[in-house]
A and B are shown apart, each in its own frame.
Chain A
Amino acid sequence: MRAVISVIVVVVVVLVLYNLVTYTVDETQQAVVVQLGEIVEVRREPGLYFKTPFLQNVIYLEDRILSYDIQPREVITSDKKRVTIDNYALWRISDAKQFVETMGGSLVRAQSRLDDVVYSNLRDVLAKQTLEDIIKREQMTEVTRLTQEQVRQFGMEIIDVRIKRADLPAATAEAVYNRMISERQQIAARYRAEGDQEAQRIRSQAEREKEIILAEARKRAQELMGEGDAQALEIYANAYNRDIAFYRFWRTLESYKTTLREGDTVVLSTDSEYLRFLERLSEKQ
């Protein structure tokens, strides 16, 4: 029985002492020990530590990287454009003692301070840049550096400040949309005109080629016909030159056959060679 009670007592005493005399610092934490309102110890390494009970008080602080979504703010660029910048900041508590002294160990207070500092730096840095520069080139290393300088005194370390979003005001965005539309319309119109132009070119070229082909053919045709005529003439000339008188006689007769058509009227005299004999007969009667 006594043994049982002593076991229980020992366990209780151990538990109470564990809670009163020791404290653990987790991997994700750091701690400061406050004694009568004064920081006497800073523990960055995780593990089990001892403290004076009642007299000393432990404040645990984050030892991980904290991300803070900085309130989106409107800034005016050097080319007088308004743009809403949405930042995030990654930071950690680098000096727990300073942090507790200046911020009371409150993350909320620290982050609202961060809000102000980042905004004022952002405004200063971006006001010297054009919108295009802000969009295209990362301007934030300067902001990060300035912010770092200003919050170091609070025991804070800035790891990164970056632009998460850069938005144009609604009216400007609308203007951009309209410009995009008109740009596209221009491009579309150009494509269509190019299509017409190209089609016209192809058609007219085809027509040109067609004309040339036909003209060449006609030229060659004329040549061929000329050759035919010439050869024919030569053949005729060679033959007819052998006896021009006979040709004249024969050809004239041939010509009668074609020139005198049915129904034509001829007035013939009995003086003619052909009807000579007709006259003679009537004389005899």
Chain B
Amino acid sequence: MAHRPFDPRDFEYRDYRQEWRSLWERFRQWVTSASWVIILLFVGIYALSGFYIVGPSEVGLVKRFGKFVRTSDPGFHYRLPYPIESVVVVNVRQPRTEEIGFRSVPGLPSAQFPEEREEALMLTGDGNIIQVEVVVQYDVKEPERFVFNLSDPERIVDQAAKAAIREKVALRTVDQALTTERDIIAEETRETLQKLLDTYQAGIRVINVRLQEVTPPTAEVNRAFDDVNSALQDKERKINDAQRYSNDLLPRAQGEAQQILNVAEAYKQSRILQAQGDVARFLSILERAQLGRDVTELRLYLEALETVLPKLNKVIITQGAAGVLGILNLDESLKKKEGER
């Protein structure tokens, strides 16, 4: 707007008070209606704050002025807004875990499981020490007790579990705890823990107790235990070796025995057959001899000499030369013969 000099004609008479009044009236009406809107908005928001959601594995516990009045199942629910009613939602299906003797630390690339040596070392009944790692899984059986009865459920489970496992390990020897009775210890621990928690009215159900690892307390002791196993293996191996030796030796001995028997049997049979053969020959000659005794004997005699004499060195002494025998160097002549041959 362009500026121009003051000119009284520009001013008409106007009832400013009247105008103010009507303006104020309109403002008041606006504020009033706006306030109602705001109040209603607040009331609405306040009322809506009573809605809550219970997840699929959860249970809601509704308290009115601090006093428990009802439980609500999974779904969308309404309670009266603060301070009249409030709700505590508790997960009852998803198992909770408590670890003794180690911690699982989720991480990448793989989770870590650092030992908690102080927790893990336990005394056995025979005065030895072993290292035990336990996982306790539990869930909420009675949410009302779980929430309203215990100030720190995790800690109570942890402490009771430690007491229970220690008690059960203490009833075993180190060998039992390490080998045969592991499952029994776990089961008994579960029972004892459940009993303890029941006396505490904890509303907790112990699903299972697992002994993850039961090992000798130090690497050195562990080596000694391993050596016992390898000694056992050694024992087996030695026995097997001996068994193999035995299995090899005895059949051989049987074979050898059989051989000895066969040789003997062969000897026996050959002796008999030899005798039978000899006898048969003798008998057939005897039979012939009986036909003409003298002739046969003479013929046999001459035949024998014919067979024998040609191969022999012969010194023939005639009756006339009988005296020569004394000077005949028999030795020399024999040697000469030997030399010729």
CB distance from A6 to the nearest CB of B (A): 11
Distance in angstroms between the alpha carbons of A256 and B306 in the assembled complex: 11
Residues 87-113 of chain B, each 1 if its beta carbon lies under 8 Å from chain A, else 0: 000000000000000000000000000
CB distance from A25 to the nearest CB of B (A): 5
Residues of chain A at interface, number, CB under 8 A: 115
The answer to the question of A142 belonging to the interface, with a C-beta cut-off of 8 Å to chain B, is no
Residues 256-268 of chain A, each 1 if its beta carbon lies under 8 Å from chain B, else 0: 1100111111111
Stretch at the interface among A116-124, A146-154, A247-255: A247-255
Would A136 and B241 be within 8 Å (CB), given that A202-B246, A249-B297 are in contact?
A: no
Distance in angstroms between the alpha carbons of A32 and B199 in the assembled complex: 27
CB distance from A263 to the nearest CB of B (A): 7
Inter-subunit contact A25/B260 (CB<8 Å): no
Inter-subunit contact A236/B275 (CB<8 Å): yes
Distance in angstroms between the alpha carbons of A28 and B243 in the assembled complex: 73
Q: What are the residues of chain A within 8 A of B271 when measuring CB–CB?
A: 225, 228-229, 231-232
Inter-subunit contact A26/B63 (CB<8 Å): yes
Scoring A25, A132, A228, A229 by chain B CB atoms within 10 A of each residue's CB, the highest score goes to A228
The answer to the question of A38 belonging to the interface, with a C-beta cut-off of 8 Å to chain B, is no
Distance in angstroms between the alpha carbons of A24 and B252 in the assembled complex: 98
Main secondary structure of the interface of A (DSSP, over half): helix
Q: What are the residues of chain B within 8 A of A160 when measuring CB–CB?
A: 196, 199-200
Main secondary structure of the interface of B (DSSP, over half): helix
Interface residues of B in 215-267 (CB under 8 A from A): 216-218, 220-221, 224-225, 227-228, 230-232, 234-239, 241-243, 245-246, 249-250, 252-254, 256-258, 260-261, 263-265, 267
Interface residues of A in 218-235 (CB under 8 A from B): 218, 220-225, 227-229, 231-233, 235
Q: What are the residues of chain A within 8 A of B313 when measuring CB–CB?
A: 263-266
Inter-subunit contact A214/B260 (CB<8 Å): yes
Inter-subunit contact A167/B121 (CB<8 Å): yes
Q: What are the residues of chain A within 8 A of B28 when measuring CB–CB?
A: 1
Stretch at the interface among B14-22, B48-56, B124-132: B124-132
Stretch at the interface among B2-10, B134-142, B150-158, B182-190: B150-158
Residues of chain B at interface, number, CB under 8 A: 118
Interface residues of A in 259-280 (CB under 8 A from B): 260-271, 274-275, 278-279
Q: Which of B167, B220, B239, B289 contacts A199 (CB 8 A)?
A: B239
Distance in angstroms between the alpha carbons of A218 and B252 in the assembled complex: 15
Closest A residue, CB atoms, query B249? A206
The answer to the question of B45 belonging to the interface, with a C-beta cut-off of 8 Å to chain A, is no
Distance in angstroms between the alpha carbons of A269 and B260 in the assembled complex: 52
CB distance from B44 to the nearest CB of A (A): 14
The answer to the question of A99 belonging to the interface, with a C-beta cut-off of 8 Å to chain B, is no
Inter-subunit contact A65/B150 (CB<8 Å): yes
Scoring A8, A222, A227 by chain B CB atoms within 10 A of each residue's CB, the highest score goes to A227
Interface residues of A in 126-146 (CB under 8 A from B): 131-132, 135-136, 138
The answer to the question of B279 belonging to the interface, with a C-beta cut-off of 8 Å to chain A, is yes
Inter-subunit contact A163/B261 (CB<8 Å): no
Inter-subunit contact A135/B257 (CB<8 Å): no
Provide 25 A-B residue pairs closer than 8 Å at the C-beta atoms, listed in order of the A residue.
A3-B32, A26-B63, A27-B67, A28-B147, A46-B63, A46-B65, A65-B150, A164-B159, A164-B166, A173-B129, A177-B220, A187-B228, A199-B238, A199-B241, A199-B242, A202-B242, A213-B250, A218-B260, A228-B268, A235-B279, A236-B279, A246-B293, A262-B312, A263-B312, A264-B312
Give B residues with C-beta under 8 Å from A. 28, 31-32, 35-36, 39, 63, 65-68, 83, 118-119, 121, 123, 125, 127-129, 147-152, 155-156, 159-160, 162-163, 166-167, 170-171, 174, 196, 199-202, 216-218, 220-221, 224-225, 227-228, 230-232, 234-239, 241-243, 245-246, 249-250, 252-254, 256-258, 260-261, 263-265, 267-272, 274-276, 278-279, 282-283, 285-286, 289, 293, 297, 300-301, 303-305, 307-309, 311-319, 330, 334, 337-338, 341
Give A residues with C-beta under 8 Å from B. 1, 3-4, 7-8, 18, 24-29, 45-48, 62, 64-67, 69, 88, 90, 131-132, 135-136, 138, 159-160, 162-168, 173, 176-177, 179-181, 184-185, 187-192, 194-196, 198-203, 205-207, 209-210, 213-214, 216-218, 220-225, 227-229, 231-233, 235-236, 238-240, 242-243, 246-247, 249-250, 253-254, 256-257, 260-271, 274-275, 278-279, 282
